[in-house]
Amino acid sequence: MKEENAPFIIGVHCMNHHTNFEIQIFYKTGIVEKIENIVLQSLYAYFSHSLKRTKKFVSLDNIVETWGQ
């Protein structure tokens, strides 16, 4: 495609590569691990204090598992 027909194509292509490099840097510096820990701690805090929430989550998990089969 010519640039005058679709000038955004080059930018999108480069953006994909830049995003990939940034994610690789985040993994190497341990930022992703810290984010995962925060998310897991938040999920634990949310579900550990409510049996009702846990039951809803388990039933949703069972539904999702059957979709993949």
Q: What is the DSSP string of 11-24?
A: HHHHHHHHHHHHHH
Domains of the chain, by residue range, sit at: 8-67
Tell if the pTM clears 0.85, that is, is over it: no
Dihedral in degrees, nearest 10, Cα atoms 40, 45, 51, 56: -40
Q: What is the C-alpha separation between 69 and 54, in angstroms, rounded?
A: 23
pLDDT at 35: 86
Q: What is the C-alpha separation between 62 and 69, in angstroms, rounded?
A: 12
pLDDT digit string (tens) for 36-69?
889 999 989 998 889 999 898 888 888 877 655 5
What letter represents residue 6's amino acid?
A
